[in-house]
Structure 1
Amino acid sequence: MFNFPKILKNRKQESENWEQDIVAENLLEQNDTEEHLDELRVDEGKVTIQFTGASPANGDLLVGFFISNGLKKNIKCINASLVLIDSDRRVLARQTFDGATIGEIVGGSAKACVARFLSNNIYVKDIPADCQVCFDAS
């Protein structure tokens, strides 16, 4: 299970409406994610996250990503703090989500998600195509 007590210990949850945090999941059937399936790897023994794209949504930002679980057992997020960074590792956006919105990820598989970053957690006007989404460890 993911639990980020040091990260979230003194942070107020940034989103009050958890149901709207993850706007879609399990998108593996959709055509627009098929190109990412070829590139997607599940590294044995590692949990990784891979950015697939971002688009504006009424002042907010929808960020697509895959979470890959290379462990032999299923994992479940308790809380997840995500950060969007550019190629120079500058923080573009940061958002904390209730782990239940991501749900359980089966061992040896990947799960597609699209998360809503609220406008007050987006620090730049334009999001470059070559950015990354990461678990926030700061």
Structure 2
Amino acid sequence: MSITSPAARVPNLLSWVRLPPLGLDPFFFPDANARRVVRFNKRYFDPVASGTKTTTIRYDDPMALGPALFVFEDDAGHRSLDGLVTDVVSRRLDQMTDDDARLGPGMRIEDLRRGLQSHYPGLPEDAVVEVVAFKLLATDR
């Protein structure tokens, strides 16, 4: 009596899957000039819309330069703004200075670190974060 493994009795599943020709997958064009989505808490709508908030610090949320749609999560009005990510700089959180973080008047780096650790539970003190600069684009909405 011969013993056949279960895997040998199941047809090769990959033979049933049709893959697009190499290089034609529409999801893998990182250099495309596509508008990216940047998510914000709804409490930041007014500061972003007025131009007083022009930077954001992100952890494990890669940002790309270029056109962006700023989406304000959990906002009853589903508000969004058209913008442009103008600069992305990586910094270690424990080595970041006020200048690196582009803090506004009266803000301290210690407050920023505490806020980030509250927003990202378990954020390591030596985490690498991205300082993302942006601006709004004029729209005809």
Instruction: Sort the TM-score into its range (normalised by shorter chain).
Output: 0.3 to 0.5
Larger radius of gyration: 2
TM-score under structure 2 normalisation? 0.32
Give the number of the structure with larger relative contact order, counting CA–CA contacts within 8 Å between residues 6 or more apart. 1
More helix by share: 2
* Structure-1-length-normalised TM-score: 0.32
More strand by share: 1
